[in-house]
Amino acid sequence: MASSLKCLVDDDSRYQKSFQLFLERSSEHQCMRDFIHNMLPDILASIGNGKSHLNVIGVGSGAGEIDLEMLAKLRLKHPGVTVDNEVVEPSSTQLHNYKVLVSQKPGLDYIKFTWNKMTATEFQEHWRVKKMTKKADFIHMIQMLYYVKDPGATISFFQSLLDKNGKLLILLVSGESGWGRLWRTYRNQLCNTEISQCVTTGDIKSFLDSKGVSYQSYELPSEMDITECFTEGVEKGELLLDFLTEVLDFSKTASPELKAGVLELLRHPDCSVESNGKVIFNNNLGVIVIDQLT
């Protein structure tokens, strides 16, 4: 990455602002919820092997809304179980929001929360140093593999923690999304490989195929209104551009050539459709579900 370009995740408050705007402008959470309500229950039905206590690990759990919805589905499929839920989240803001959410939500007595303010890599090291032998029945990584140095190694580590019939669920942008096209074109200019990877479900499938690991995959249609990105000087447009490129103050710090190229590509039919004066970006997500190593 060019030294003049800083990674958005370096500035947590701007990252959180751009992320919140992204959620407002996209159907991201809605399409995740549709998946959780319609497809996840069948995936969760086979875990646990009849145990009365289940171990869950959420890696990059954010503010917890999606986690709690998944835990509710787990409870429906396995009524009466108790759950040990390890939360792994490096942002103190998000972890605080998650704790507040838990304190306000009734009926969570069956869950014991363990809060780990750390990255996935730090959690891996913590697990190794403590020589932990606990196995997990369900591990989920929602939109977080962008922020590890080696996504393949991270997947392999967490898969090794799965108990018999355990499931590892990975959710990322689809290789067929606008993100996939943007990253294939501008990976070298935009991706700071020390901090963030331009990784899609397409990349993860290639990795798993190369290792001979079987998986199930699902495509989740999603879209995002990026119209504001094309009006110079609009703060919300600049925040969305930061989020799309993962570059802090992209509009102000990118070279004119890079900025023009990115904006042109974002409008391209491979990335977006234009309708009723709006530019709607293809924000499709993909889910990959992996079983315990055999």
Alpha-carbon distance of 234 to 285, in angstroms, equals 27
- Residue 2 is predicted with a pLDDT of 45
Mean pLDDT of 3-12: 80
Q: Give the pair of three-digit tokens for residue 233.
A: 């000087």
pLDDT at 47 (0 to 100): 95
Per-residue pLDDT tens digits for 141-153: 999 998 888 999 9
- 228 annotated to bind ligand: no
Q: Are 47 and 165 a contacting pair, CB within 8 Å?
A: yes
Do 65 and 29 contact (CB within 8 A), yes or no? yes
> Per mean pLDDT, which range of 15-29, 171-185, 189-203 is the poorest?
189-203
Query: Using CA atoms, how far apart are residues 63 and 161, in angstroms rounded to an integer?
Result: 24
CA-based max dimension of the chain = 59
Express each pLDDT in 194-222 by its tens digit.
Answer: 656 788 999 999 999 999 999 999 999 99
| pTM flag (> 0.85) | yes
Report the relative pairing of strands 285-291 and 215-220 from DSSP bridges. antiparallel
Q: How many residues does the chain have?
A: 294
Selected residue with higher pLDDT from 3 and 184: 184
Give pLDDT, residue 193.
58
| Type of residue numbered 131 | K
- 8 Å CB contact between 81 and 110: yes
Residue 55 Cα to chain centre, angstroms: 20
Tokens found for residue 165: 């019939």
Nearest to 136 by CA among 106, 167, 115: 167
DSSP 7: B
Answer yes or no: is 24 a known binding residue.
no
Of 36, 7, 65, nearest to 289 by C-alpha is 36
How far from each other are the two terminal CA atoms of the chain, in whole angstroms?
A: 39
Q: How does residue 282 score in pLDDT terms, banded at 50, 70 and 90?
A: very high
Mapping DSSP to helix (H, G, I), strand (E, B) and coil, where does residue 14 land? helix
What is the four-CA torsion angle of 29, 31, 33, 37, rounded to 10 degrees?
A: 180
How wide is the angle at C-alpha 44 spanned by C-alphas 213 and 215, nearest 5°? 15
